[in-house]
Structure 1
Amino acid sequence: MTKYQRYSNNTVALTTVPKVRLYVERPEEEEKWFVNIGHVTERGRWRTAPHAHPEYGQVIFVRSGRGVMNLEGSSVLFEGPCVLLLPTECVHGLDYEIDVDRWVVTIEVSYLTQVNAKLHEFIQLWALPRMISLSTSSGAAVALFSVITKLADELESKKVGHVVGTEALLTSLFLMLARGTSLDQLDNDGATRNEVRLADRFRELIDQHYRQNLPLQDYASMMAVSLVQLRAACAATTGQSPTKMIHARIITEAKRNLIFGEMSVEQIAFGLGFSDAAYFTRFFRKEVGQAPSQFRVTARDQPQRMK
């Protein structure tokens, strides 16, 4: 639940980034939802404050119109046709200009993981939040819109085989996005399926335990692999060491707290498992190039809206 702190002047400060859940109305006899599509065409400006989705990822197809996305504290301008791809847990806010026509595809996290396992490029695609412009290819937006509307029809119809049909269309959607996106390609064609699986599992464990300062051996034990296997899988699929991946996750959370929260640097340090705020400051400066307090001031001074 989101917590707020009220000050004497009656203002309210956000102390944690809101974690929101999608409410999908379903008859009681139906199974749990795994994909949902919404079509939004509000007249006038529409804005959401920074938040995160712990239980699902989203593909937002902006068919027309423009706006700005507050992505982890940085402003990302977008103009349709384009796609905003938002993995689980990434912190984002959206400020749409007037008359933005958009389709929002929401995928439950366990199902998203299942579909991503079909192709390593899908895992790469969803590794980072992205703004994918479709303006350079005249047919890309039309093709993507066709797949999304077919997906919406499939979900609505509930015909025989609709689960299989939904998965096929969702796979086609991801494939179109992966082919049309400049993914951060590593020389990982030689990575085995098992290495890809291990690296993905390691990311999940990092998300669960990065505040606990666990030794690498504990991660390896939870995965029932050796340290050599863990290091090899991370190097083959991400080009990073396991330690570097853990540090990157800590820095991401630290930045979120500095930009969106009101906790002191000391409180953030202790919340991330550091027993010494001075050590946290040295760690942050080494990884980011700025002290936490400097980063907070610089990040908050950035313009967060379109002019």
Structure 2
Amino acid sequence: MYPQHNRTGVPYVNKFLADSGECLLGLRRSGIDMSHPTQFSEYAIFFVHQGEGVFYSDLLSMPFRAPVILFASPMQVIGIQEAHPLDYSLLRFHADFYCIEKHKEEVACNGVLFDNIYTEPSITPADADNRNFSILLDLLEQELLKNGPSDIVLKAFLQLLLAKSSEVRADTVGQFSPFVRDDKMELFRKLLEERYRDLRKPGDYAALLRMSPNNFRRRCLKYFKKTPSRLIAERIILAAKQELHLTRKSIKEIAYTLKFEDQFYFSRMFKKHTRVSPQIFRDKTGISVVADLSKE
């Protein structure tokens, strides 16, 4: 029998299991305690119906008010502090059940809803969209409650939820931003995506942008709500997570790919930012089917 509580301490009410007994998809509607830092090995989506609070994700602290949907990637350190009583549903799915990288053409959510270091991991749906999300959650729950739920049907509902979330994100980008576009910071974003493997110091980017270090830091903090150092570190860790999950490279090979001096320094940095070693991260999240697609 599958245990009543998983290793994170948050129990599933409705769940779909693999033959091994591992929970591939789970939905909980109430009684969720996220007041303590938690790491899930699955993707997590919080549908907040009522109330307000603060969402913590790694080092991010983000106030929110319902209705809002919050997103977390596997092994992120997350928590929720209630400012006013909350009513929310928690949907979690394992990458073995639905690989968002494999389905990126159908559902553009990776780098948009999940693993986006540049924007807050949330969307604020309009009333009509909120009703659609509620309907989809109800339908998914009804399927989970069946004796022998269909994985095809569950994946279809999950894909619809992700696709709708991505659509809402695209429709509201910049709509609620209190800041105007900063071309220098957008150029920094572009440079970071191109050079994160070999440029690790904020001063390197400040020089390329022809900005003083202090001005660069101030504008980066205002625009991205993060310091340049933090963004650089997060980009490296994101690349490491992708290598661990999407390839079968050894940890030594991944360290070399990301231009670390050795795998031990890489492992120390990875654990400092994620609280787990690269091997444990890979064990908990698994290796994606994408890792072998090129061989087919």
Which TM-score applies when normalising by structure 2?
Answer: 0.53
1:49-128 correspondence runs (5 A): 49-53=36-40, 55-113=41-99, 115-120=100-105, 121-124=108-111, 125-128=113-116
> Contact 2:13 / 2:26 at 8 angstroms: preserved in 1?
no
When residues 117 and 100 of structure 1 are mapped into structure 2, their CA distance, relative to the original with a 3 A threshold, is same
When residues 243 and 209 of structure 1 are mapped into structure 2, their CA distance, relative to the original with a 3 A threshold, is same
Residues 227-257 of structure 1, C-alpha deviations (whole Å, 9 max, x = no match): xxxxxxxxxxxxxxx549x999976643456
Distance in 2, Cα, partners of 1:207 & 1:128: 23
Shift of 1:66: 0.8
Shift of 1:108: 2.0
* Paired residue secondary structure (2:154): helix
Distance in 1, Cα, partners of 2:272 & 2:129: 37
Shift of 1:117: 1.5
User: Structure 1 residue aligned with 2:272, among 247, 254, 269?
Assistant: 254
Q: Which residue of the partner structure matches residue 264 of structure 1?
A: none
Structure 2: gaps spanning 5 or more residues:
1-6, 174-185, 191-238, 279-296
Matched residue count: 198
Q: Which residue of the partner structure matches residue 144 of structure 1?
A: 133
> Contact 2:255 / 2:266 at 8 angstroms: preserved in 1?
no
Distance in 2, Cα, partners of 1:164 & 1:250: 40
Q: Which residue of the partner structure matches residue 158 of structure 2?
A: 170
> Contact 2:136 / 2:161 at 8 angstroms: preserved in 1?
yes
Shift of 1:51: 2.4
> Contact 2:14 / 2:28 at 8 angstroms: preserved in 1?
no
Q: Which residue of the partner structure matches residue 295 of structure 1?
A: none
Distance in 1, Cα, partners of 2:31 & 2:9: 21
RMSD: 4.3
> Contact 2:13 / 2:27 at 8 angstroms: preserved in 1?
no
> Contact 1:41 / 1:99 at 8 angstroms: preserved in 2?
no
1:202 paired to 2:202: no
Q: Percent identity?
A: 11
1:215 paired to 2:256: yes
When residues 56 and 82 of structure 1 are mapped into structure 2, their CA distance, relative to the original with a 3 A threshold, is same
Residues 116-165 of structure 1, C-alpha deviations (whole Å, 9 max, x = no match): 42124233232248532325x22111111111111111111236x62211
> Contact 1:70 / 1:76 at 8 angstroms: preserved in 2?
yes
Residues 161-200 of structure 1, C-alpha deviations (whole Å, 9 max, x = no match): 62211111001001011111258998xxxxxxxxxxx999
Which TM-score applies when normalising by structure 1?
Answer: 0.51
> Contact 2:114 / 2:121 at 8 angstroms: preserved in 1?
no
* Paired residue secondary structure (2:133): helix
When residues 52 and 98 of structure 1 are mapped into structure 2, their CA distance, relative to the original with a 3 A threshold, is same
Tell me which structure has the larger Cα radius of gyration: 1
Q: Which residue of the partner structure matches residue 30 of structure 2?
A: 40
Greater relative CO (CA pairs within 8 A, separation 6+):
1
Counterpart residue identity of residue 131, structure 1: P
Residues 200-237 of structure 1, C-alpha deviations (whole Å, 9 max, x = no match): 96252789866887423xxxxxxxxxxxxxxxxxxxxx
Distance in 2, Cα, partners of 1:101 & 1:36: 17
> Contact 1:117 / 1:123 at 8 angstroms: preserved in 2?
no
Distance in 1, Cα, partners of 2:267 & 2:138: 36
Structure 1: gaps spanning 5 or more residues:
1-18, 187-197, 217-241, 262-270, 273-307
* Paired residue secondary structure (1:123): coil
